[in-house]
Chain A
Amino acid sequence: MTSVDTDRTITLTVNGVPREATVPVRRLLSDALRHDLGLTGTHVGCEHGVCGACTVLVDGDPVRSCLLLAVQVDGHEVTTVEGLAREDNRGGQVLHPVQEAFRECHALQCGFCTPGFLTTIAAGLEKRDNAAELTEEEVDDMVGGNLCRCTGYANIKKAVHHANAAMRDGAR
């Protein structure tokens, strides 16, 4: 017999850490991450899938967390912007090459859209052969679903190239 519920307890792995939450079934993943799990790095912009600010990785692929119900990621792995940096061997953290490139290229101003760009680009660059030429068309396709109202995108695209080169040269 299939259960039909209004609330559910879900278990998922967020940034490598097993988490559990009891949520109303209508809870969006974006809200569950922020309100139930306290991970406010994921930003909520348009809340209907247009702006890309809330993009997270589910099982490694970028998806809109505002277009998923929290109950749908039960048993899955979620990576938010908080999960991009890595532990270094001195007990601190090192930024992901994409985060580093954003800093170096001044690819953000107010920062609201940045978490969505970072997760999208990190997944995009990790899935490609970084030694292959990165075309403008490929960059446009990668970041075309994320809106930024500050930068005019030029430095964001520059950061994508910068990060790809860093990853090619073995930054991670």
Chain B
Amino acid sequence: MKPAPFRYADPGTLDDVLTVLSDEGPGAKVLAGGQSLLPLLSMRLAAPTTLVDINRVPGLDSVDVSVEGVTVGALVRHRALLDAAAAARVQPLLARATANVAHPAIRNRGTTVGSIAHADPSGEMTSVLALTDGSVSVASPGGVETIGWRDFFVGPLETSVSGPAVVTSAFFPALPARSGTAFAEVARRKGDYAVCGAGVVVTLDADRRVERVRASYVSVGITPEVHDLTEAVAGSPVDGADWAAAGALARTMVDPDTDIHASADYRRLLVGVLTERTLRDAAAEADARATGE
């Protein structure tokens, strides 16, 4: 239960980080918050030759909010994002999902971007990046590249980024007009990895009818997916929509796995339950926002 020996560097600039990553080769790994990486090291599920700690790199710890969306730097802790009121106004899913990430002590240290780069399908923020149609910025010796979520997530704990590179920020587009969101999880204990989680966005038209419904799930499938549930409730008045039908549709679209915590069938059941529950809340919020706008 101790990490295998490795080498350690904590460069003071992004250029130096990339230089060290290049010099140390494919066995080198970036360390940000370390709340997923350190357990992997201690359990010896990973044994990088070198850890390159980016915590001393300036300029990576800001949450930038604009009308287009929210850009979260690589050193922004979950706690900072949870407390970022301006970010929550532009994209309410950020605070809602972050509140479900582990416990306060983990949120004080773990980073949102690190969680995304870790690409764990049971992570909340991977799912939120997908649901908001977000992207990440990746710095490498060749320059900075923006990668959309669909091209970024390749498999469980696997992204399309390889070689010497650092994910420097994640961008979450703003919530569209006349829209509402909700996020909910079922976990064995508070703060545990979710057995199943659901994030949803409901958009209404100008007549308070359902125009668009999308959902993304946590701990369901090997990479984040976004499911369009619009057809189950399209055109329904906001207070008369059959959200259970949307939940039933969602159950036919997902392909969860069985593990020690839950069977695939139970997870599929939860997808239906959480979808119905969150859609009802998101629709009410969309209606309130549309009326207030």
Residue in chain B with minimal CB distance to A141: B104
Expressed in whole angstroms, the Cα–Cα distance for A4 and B48 within the complex equals 14
State how many residues of chain B have any CB contact under 8 Å with chain A: 39
**CB contact between B106 and one of A24, A26, A58, A145 (< 8 Å): that residue:** A145
B228 CB within 8 Å of chain A: no
B190 CB within 8 Å of chain A: yes
A4-B8 CB under 8 A given contacts A47-B1, A66-B42, A67-B39: yes
B69 CB within 8 Å of chain A: no
A5 CB within 8 Å of chain B: yes
Q: Which residues of A contact B242 (CB under 8 A)?
A: none
Q: Are A71 and B8 in contact (CB under 8 A)?
A: yes
A49-B39 CB under 8 A given contacts A4-B20, A62-B105: yes
Q: Are B35 and A142 in contact (CB under 8 A)?
A: no
Q: Are A6 and B1 in contact (CB under 8 A)?
A: no
B38 to chain A, nearest CB (A): 4
Q: Which residues of A contact B105 (CB under 8 A)?
A: 52, 55, 62-64, 120, 145
Expressed in whole angstroms, the Cα–Cα distance for A6 and B42 within the complex equals 17
A3 CB within 8 Å of chain B: yes
Q: Are A49 and B53 in contact (CB under 8 A)?
A: no
Q: Which residues of A contact B160 (CB under 8 A)?
A: none
Q: Are B34 and A67 in contact (CB under 8 A)?
A: yes
Which B residues fall within an 8 A CB radius of A?
Answer: 1-12, 16, 19-20, 23-24, 34-35, 38-39, 41-43, 50-51, 53, 55, 79, 102-106, 108-109, 189-191
Which A residues fall within an 8 A CB radius of B?
Answer: 2-6, 8, 24-26, 28, 31, 47-49, 52, 55, 58, 61-64, 66-69, 71-72, 120, 124, 140-142, 144-145
